[in-house]
Amino acid sequence: MGSRGALRDVSGARATGHRPTSGASSSSAGRGAASPSAGRAVVLAGRYALRAELGRGGCAVVYEAHDLRLGRLVALKMVKSNARDAQAHARLAREARAAAAIHHPNVCGLSDAGYLEDGRPYLVMERLHGETLTHCLHRLGRLTPTDAIDIALQLLSALDSAHALGVVHRDVKPDNVFLVPRSGCGPLVKLLDFGMCRRASATLRDDATLTRAGQVVGTPEYMSPEQVSGKRDFDARIDLYAVGVILYEALSGKRAFPGKDAREVVVSVLVRSLPPLRSICPDVPPALDRIVARAMERDASFRYSSAAEFQGDLLEAKAALNARRLRGIQTGRHAVDHGRTRQPPHHEGEWDEPTRQLRSSRRSA
């Protein structure tokens, strides 16, 4: 089981900063922008010198680059040269608009965006160092309730900001939750990849630019029943459901909906009855077990209605954990103090005689 100290120490883990996503990874203008080669720097838009590839997905690639204008490292995300379909371009453009609108410390910041000379879009984002929650869970197995709550609270804070703008992420999963280590406290959470996002007010025709009716968009293991069913009349509660699934996995160390393939996972999401967390991990407080169960209700009407409501219950659970820990500390101190009163009396030594003489002189005075 992971400990607080282990969660803080991610310096020895992967420190790439950005993960390749289904359509993502930054860069800027220049025809046929290539990866950096030995001895020759590739400079895009006259400003971003590519240094190394951080990762790639199905239709996008992310590079570490040096911003020549501001003298800092950034992450550049752009559509790959062989990904010419309009859907890939639309997703990256959508991610740029969402990231630009959401100004929040728990959302990966966007500093620039544009189009290459050949028409491919690019994004310039903050360069992060640390690890994804996926990597963290592989390293630790599972998290303590306190650590899991701390991560969920920050993740929900990011989602609350997005939802306030009418933006539904649609692909909340451990791969898109990045942990940046900080000295003296737990990691800073950064929510990544808004490429699959949709505005809650979007019409079905608007959404059809990226998806087709009945098409599953997202990662099945973390998708709500209404998503895996191919429905498109959903709201922000699908993101809250995903946070519940992440909490279940982080606390138990087990996938909530395992499967050999996507089809098996979808069936599991729709019909599987999850064992209560406490049946797997008895150290999970009953209140936290109930919170996760509510977040993962199949019927959206029984879930949390907002990220703020979800946060409120988690904060109460965290306060109860802190109070219990404080009581344990106080009980330990009381036992130590009680033990001291039962110690044998002090034997006289070389300092006792001068003390008696001092007391005697005070009485005579």
* Residues acting as catalytic residues: 171
C-alpha torsion 22→25→27→31, nearest 10: -30
- Tell me the CA distances in angstroms from 16 to 228, 298, 349, one per residue in order: 31, 36, 64
Q: Which helix (H) or strand (E) holds 44?
A: strand 43-44
78 close to 115: Cβ distance less than 8 angstroms: no
Where would I find the beta strands (DSSP E) of 105-211? 110-115, 121-126, 131-132, 167-168, 177-182, 185-191, 198-199
State which amino acid sits at residue 295: A
Contacts of 331 (CB under 8 A, 6+ apart): none
Q: In the chain, where does DSSP find H-type helix?
A: 4-8, 86-101, 133-140, 145-164, 204-207, 225-228, 237-252, 262-271, 277-280, 286-295, 307-341, 352-364
State whether residue 18 is helix, strand or coil. coil
- Could you tell me which of 145, 101, 106 has the C-alpha nearest to residue 128? 106
Q: What are phi and psi of 25, to 5 degrees?
A: 140, 125
Take residue 90 and report the two structure tokens written for it: 């639309």
Q: Cα–Cα distance between 349 and 357 in angstroms, integer? A: 14
Take residue 104 and report the two structure tokens written for it: 């929040």
Contacts of 360 (CB under 8 A, 6+ apart): none
- Could you tell me which of 43, 80, 76 has the C-alpha nearest to residue 62? 76
Take residue 296 and report the two structure tokens written for it: 């993962």
